[in-house]
Amino acid sequence: MNKIITILFSYIQLQQRIIVYLIGSLIGKHITRKIYDEPINKPYRKLQVDKLPIIETLEKLDFKQLLIDYETTKGKPLKPVKPHKNSNARVPNTLTCPKCGAPHNYLYDNTGGRGQFKCKICGCLFNFKNYYSKAAILKCPYCSRLLTKKKERKDFHIFKCINDHCSLYLHNLATMSKSDKECFKVAPHEFKVRYIHRQFNFDFKPLSKTGPVVPNVDLSRIYAPTHTLSLILTYHVNFGLSSRNTASIMQDVHGVKISHQTVLNYAEAVATIIKPFIDNYPYDLSNSFCGDETYIKVNGKWQYVFFFFDAVKKIILANRISPNRDTLSAIKAMDDVLSRLKEIPDDLSFVVDGNPIYVLAQHYFAQHGFHFDVNQVIGLTNEDPVSKEYRPFKQIIERLNRTYKRSYRTTFGFKSPDGSIAFTTLFTAYFNFLRPHSSLEKSVPVALPELGNLPNMPARWATLLKMAEDYLVDLQQTE
């Protein structure tokens, strides 16, 4: 009997999902709001990141200087290669020696067209995939053997030490339990026993100092008084009202007739003006930061907001929006934090969840000479010492996410990336400069003297917007 009830209940749930989907397709997204529209929540696979490999920079020679040295020593110039008349092997005209840069007429086809070449000047043997074409040789730090490229991922290539006598490999095998050894014989791919290095392949320079983008928006062309604009921002951002409710309250309470699209247009224009100001403000920061990603809907698809937050000063430092929850997005969000520091302290640490992209981001920055700690809080219970120690920091960033999602919930998602960026920018400006924080004794995280004695929130928005406009004017004058 219980089995029949369970089957019937499953059918009812399936029918309900189909009905909700059909209603949403026929009527619109407001009817089907968030009932079954949740992203898939899967546990992260544990990631182990090894220390950096031994990097050997290869010797580069100059073929012109080698030709001069040859003529000085031998008393005659070195002649180019003269191919055999009956040979079909030819060296491509565009090919040069990867070690000394000699042109193609000094290169032998060493294997009769099978892909290996030899330089007559420096004696270098190479092919199109030879390691001399790389900037450096990667070696295992445990056995000094050359690493072998095994896989190519979206953001990085995976190199592995395949030496069976590597000390790390032997140690990992020796420390396995009896049950692990039995599982290893059946499924060795489920165990990480060899040294692995990930070489990132995207073009991104950490802490690259670039000037802020000066937007081409003139708020004087908005046909609304500053006080009206500030009222709209107060209702829409501070109180989290939807654009339709904001337009309604402006008409019902203040007698100002505007459409909900006008509210969105005003918000996007203000966000464009205020973004350079909040992104480049000289914040007074601590050395403890926490980060996390939360999800939003943009044009009907899931995207992610990467927040990084000063856990002590309660200041939002990064609010990257990305369609992917990947390593590059984590790197850019961390870079937003690092670029705001006057200097990187020795005890800098980030507290994040168990997502492996943050450990890969830490490894990427270490490859570029920037070192910091990443403390991962795993799961909902304190099953390890790190999670127990840093759980309060993770709870801080989770409260920030909930605050953001309360405001976001009224939007029912965004129709374009510009709308999501504008909303998140205004939320960041409100959180950093206008919103009193309980843990700061009802003070705002960033106290601006210009806003201290103003009587109400619309006046503070108007002053903050004026400061952002003045900042842009100064930027335009210095260009």
pLDDT for 53 equals: 86
pLDDT for 479 equals: 58
pLDDT for 445 equals: 94
Contacts of 54 (CB under 8 A, 6+ apart): 138, 139, 140, 141, 144
pLDDT for 32 equals: 47
Cα dihedral 166→168→172→173 (10° resolution): 10
Helix axes 226-233, 457-478, angle to 10 degrees: 110
pLDDT for 223 equals: 60
What backbone phi and psi angles, to 5 degrees, belong to 291?
Answer: -145, 155
pLDDT for 322 equals: 93
Q: What structural domains and CATH numbers belong to the chain?
A: 56-133 (no CATH), 140-200 (no CATH), 276-478 (3.30.420.10)
Spans in the chain with pLDDT lower than 70:
1-3, 20-21, 23-47, 85-89, 128-136, 208-224, 479
479 SS3 class = coil
DSSP 205-219: -TT---PPP-----G
pLDDT for 211 equals: 54
For 33, the token pair is 């709001």
pLDDT digit string (tens) for 17-48? 777 667 666 555 444 444 445 555 566 556 67
pLDDT for 35 equals: 45
Query: How many CB atoms sit inside 10 A of residue 231's CB?
Result: 23
For 390, the token pair is 């840093």
